């Protein structure tokens, strides 16, 4: 079943044509990755999907429903959560308050099981739950941002550069968690500059170049694709 469908979106920043007809689909239960260089439009694609930037043409559909009419703050109610680039944790709020904000869209008030779940995924957060998040390390902030997004019970989780600026040991931990979250049933769209890592956890992948999708294939084939190896995996 197609969960998320992005069809031929064109997004502009002022006069800059950032996305020139991007189309992609994510099936339920998949990990799909979007790789590409700096400025290729990866972040813009995610921002367009969750409504922070509106496309000039084209559409984004979730479970068949067009999202064009919805403002950014109602997208999460539809089932899309995003971990933005640079994590976007609320630095002056404590870890627990950040998690509360993650559950802002929830109608019920029974969060105990969810706290338990995210603390099992990220035990470090439990130790620091009453700490102000601005004092966490970069890796802990990334964990918090992911945990916060999970609090909303999304059907699809968008991750923007989760490995950015992290030590290699933390990158491994974050990618292990991504796989674990996916096994628990959350579909994932992953944007990464670290193409090697992204392709090793993903089922399928898209390659974005200057606002256009130039390649799409399953992750294994992309990994052995000559062009991808040269441009994104640093192999000759």
Partner 1 sequence: MTKSWLKRVSATDVVMWVVSLIIAGIVIYGSISSLQSGKYDGNTWKDLIVYGLTQGSIYALIALGYTLVYGILRMINFAHSEIYMSGPFASYFLASALLTSGFMDKQPWLSLILVALFAMFSSMVIAVSVERIAYRPLRKAPRLAPLITAIGASFFIQYVFKGLFGAGVKNYPELDVLKGQVNIFGLEMYRIHVIVLISAVGLMALLYTLVMKTKLGKAMRAVSEDKDSAALMGINVDQIISTTFAIGGVLAGAAGFLYAIMFRQVSWYMGFIPGLKAFTAAVLGGIGNIPGAMLGGLFLGLIESIGPTLFLAGLGIPAPNQLKDVIAFTLLVFILIFRPTGILGERLATKKA
- Only one of the segments 36-44, 111-119, 144-152, 213-221 lies at the binding site for partner 1 (rule: CB under 8 A); that segment is 144-152
Complex with partner 1: residue 71 or 168, whichever CB lies closer = 71
Part in contact with partner 1 (CB under 8 A); list of ranges 2-10, 85-93, 112-120, 196-204: 85-93
Q: State the residue for tokens 């779940």.
A: 117
Binding-site size for partner 1 (CB under 8 A) equals: 37
Choice from 7, 23, 58, 97 touching partner 1 (CB under 8 A) = 97
Cα dist. 233→39, 48, 226 in Å? 17, 27, 10
Determine if 95 is a binding residue for partner 1 (CB under 8 A).
no
Task: State which residue, 109 or 168, has the beta carbon closest to partner 1.
Answer: 109
CA 13/CA 137 separation, integer angstroms: 32
Rounded to the nearest 10 degrees, what angle do helices 138-150 and 168-183 cross at? 10
Residue 55 as a binder of partner 1 (CB under 8 A): the answer is no
**Does residue 11 interact with partner 1 by CB under 8 A?**
no
Query: Which residue from 42, 87, 128, 223 is in contact with partner 1, where contact means CB under 8 A?
Result: 87
Alpha-carbon distance of 112 to 89, in angstroms, equals 21
Ramachandran assignment for 218, one of left (phi > 0), alpha (psi -120 to 50 degrees), beta (any other):
beta
Nearer to partner 1, 6 or 228 (CB): 6
134 touches partner 1 by CB under 8 A: yes
Nearest CA-CA partner of 193 in 39, 80, 50: 39
Tell me: does residue 42 bind partner 1 (CB under 8 A): no
Asked if 89 interacts with partner 1 (CB under 8 A), we say yes
Q: How far is CA 220 from the centre of its chain?
A: 21
């Amino acid at each position: 079943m197609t969960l998320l469908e992005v069809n031929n979106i064109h997004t502009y920043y002022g006069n800059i044509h950032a996305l020139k007809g991007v189309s992609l689909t994510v099936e339920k239960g998949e990990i799909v990755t979007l790789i590409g260089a700096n400025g290729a439009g990866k972040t813009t694609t995610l921002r367009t999907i969750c409504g922070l930037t509106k496309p000039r043409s084209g559409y984004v559909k979730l479970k068949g429903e067009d999202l064009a009419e919805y403002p950014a703050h109602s997208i999460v109610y539809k089932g899309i959560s995003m971990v933005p680039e640079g994590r976007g944790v609320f630095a002056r709020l404590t870890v627990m308050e950040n998690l509360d904000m993650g559950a802002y869209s929830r109608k019920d008030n029974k969060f105990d099981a969810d706290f338990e779940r995210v603390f099992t995924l990220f035990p470090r957060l439990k130790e620091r739950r009453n700490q102000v998040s601005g004092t966490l390390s970069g890796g802990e902030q990334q964990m918090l941002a992911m945990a916060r997004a999970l609090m909303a019970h999304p059907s699809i989780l968008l991750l923007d550069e989760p490995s950015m600026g992290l030590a290699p040991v933390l990158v491994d931990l974050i990618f292990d968690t991504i796989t674990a979250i996916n096994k628990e049933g959350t579909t994932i769209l992953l944007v990464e500059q670290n193409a090697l890592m992204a392709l090793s956890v993903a089922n399928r992948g898209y390659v974005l170049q200057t606002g256009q999708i130039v390649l799409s294939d399953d992750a294994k084939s992309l990994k052995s694709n000559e062009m991808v190896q040269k441009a994104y995996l640093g192999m000759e």
